[in-house]
A and B are shown apart, each in its own frame.
Chain A
Amino acid sequence: MRNLVATLRPMRAELLGVAGVVGLLLLAAFAVLARLAALDLPAACLDPESIEVACRGRQFDALQYQNFAGNWGSAVAYSASFVPPIAGIVLGIGAIAKELDQRTAVLAWSVGPSRRGWLLQRAAPLVAIVSLVGLVSAFVFNTMFQLSHGGSEVVETAAFDGIANMGFAPLASGISAFGITTVVGAMLGRLLPGLLAAGAFVLFAALLIQQGNDRIMAGESLVAEVSVAGPGRQVDWLLQAPDGRIISYNEAYFQYGDPQTGEIGPEIVQLTRYVPVEILPQVSARFILFHLVVGLAALTLAFAVVERRSP
């Protein structure tokens, strides 16, 4: 413990900054919850089906609740999603780039016999801190998301949109941001250029992982008639001709449409391509895995760079 404090002491500014950001997030979440609690609405008022009957006389408050939760709850939820990558970048840049930029790595690398040991000593607790920030962020996001979506049923289908912000995903994205920033910082050895380049790489990696996951997810989608399709993420609308072919809207219109009304004939079946909600855990796990692989690969590379470069 004594050594841990001493090892992290050079990064006090970064740690305080991250603690400040997390504190602000929790404060904002608490403010939203406190405001909604002050309305003191019975649970029946939050259920769209029973609101007319059970919430007589409190409709205005219920509307206020929904507006506030929808606006501010969403704002806090989506703000929470930025916190783990920001924490990863801030702590990642402090881990190596700041030491190289301010020439303090000379002290560390000449006193400590092992550079790998030096990096491990500081990276391990920082990864733990980023993970904790990720869990807090996920908790805040989940709480605010449920508030702003007004019920578990909606959350279930909308969860695909929040996949990057729920469960262990923020933890993983924080670790990937930390790893990328660490290796970029180790290569450039400069604070500001390292920060800018790391920000760009973290954004690029996040988009790449998102796109990759979406593509794989599209391959796992199902096609079903609209009336029988289960809950999930809508990927595409399709039209099926009587002979079973999937056809475009234009084709359907010209072959089976009514030129007078513009309506397509009843022989055309409307289908939906969707990702069933049942595979949400699998999709989420893959998203987490991609981020963890990127983060750990980047960290491994950072160890190699630190081992070879001059301070």
Chain B
Amino acid sequence: MRDVTAGPAIETHGLTKRFRRKVAVRELTVSIPIGGITALLGPNGAGKSTLLKMCVGFERPSGGTLRVFGVDPVRRRRDVVDMLGYVPQAPSLYRDMKVEDHLRLCRALRPGFDIDHARERVVALGIPPTATAGHLSGGEQAQVSLAIALGTRAPLLLLDEPLASLDPLARREFLEVASDAARGGDVSIVLSSHVISEIEPVADRLLVLGEGRVLFEDSVAASLGQHRVLDDGAPVDGLDVVARFPGQGNARHLLVRSSDPAVGRPGSLEEVVIGYLALGKRAA
């Protein structure tokens, strides 16, 4: 059994994935540490889903290396899947099956699947185990998927844009469950999303991807503490400008690397991320 308490949870070196002519992930070198929630942010097509799919063995890298707890998901997919729980963007539940049938199926598929833990999670959210999956709302289906992922008792959960199709309340509830699991300390979570504002309260680390590359990575606290926002037109002499980005209405702002309170104003996490996305777009 791998030691899942030491070393990075996910580590890549020059990881590349091509789909025919399109490069989804381009020479990505990144290290996602164990513990807490790492938010994987970026626009559509940034390579977030592809990275997570490669981790779970759904896609094969075209180049570079990828390790999950030090294990290669291509050569030893079985060992890697054993250490993962995965929630896809679109819930992959059987529409005509009851929630309880899903849990039983997972128990049959995975030795050690904690059916009681998964059932408790589902019931706690007010979803009856006797409900048919096809009759559940999108939020409830996402919650069932998360409960299944938690039932695996895997040390790493990969949540691939599970919030995309959820209403605001369902998003909050979903993130609350994920956050509770991560705070419990047994689970590391990589949460891919482009809903930055929703993620801010729960994420510990940021990893911003754009055009298949890493644009920025750091802890949330450091991201907020080391960046300031200036209104467009303000003097920038001597400042380390990241990028110019659009704000509310017609306003435009500048994101700068600085922890000096005298420079501009503190930025929100959304502004920091948008600033780096603007940088990535300009570079592309």
Contacts from A to B (Cβ < 8 Å): 2-3, 5-7, 9-10, 12-13, 102-114, 117-118, 121, 310-311
Contact = CB atoms under 8 A, between A and B. Distances in A.
Given A3-B107, A110-B88, A112-B81, 9 more contacts: A3-B108, A9-B97, A10-B94, A107-B93, A111-B152, A114-B78, A117-B109, A118-B109, A121-B108
Interface string B254-276: 00000000000000000000000
Contacts of A107: 92-94, 102, 106, 145, 148
Contacts of B148: 107, 111
A17 to B, nearest CB: 14
Nearest to B103: A6
Nearest to A5: B104
A277 to B, nearest CB: 49
A113 B78 contact: yes
A6 B105 contact: yes
Q: Which 8 A-B pairs have the closest CB atoms?
A: A112-B109, A110-B86, A106-B92, A3-B108, A6-B104, A107-B92, A6-B108, A113-B81
Nearest to B104: A6
B275 to A, nearest CB: 34
A207 B86 CA distance: 45
Contacts of A12: 96
Contacts, number: 78
**Interface range on chain B (Cβ under 8 Å from partner):** 20 to 34
A110 B56 contact: yes
For A12, A103, A104, A107, which residue has the most chain B Cβ atoms within 10 angstroms?
Answer: A107
Contacts of A9: 97, 101, 104-105
Interface in B34-84: 53, 56-59, 77-79, 81-82, 84
Contacts of A109: 57-58, 81
Given A9-B97, A109-B58, A113-B78, A103 B105 contact: no
A110 B105 contact: no
A285 B125 CA distance: 59
A272 to B, nearest CB: 59
Contacts of A310: 53, 58-59
A311 B58 contact: yes
A113 B58 CA distance: 12
Interface in B92-142: 92-97, 101-102, 104-110, 113
A168 to B, nearest CB: 31
B90 interface: yes
B187 to A, nearest CB: 15
Contact of A111 (B57, B78, B106): B106
A182 B93 CA distance: 21
A135 to B, nearest CB: 27
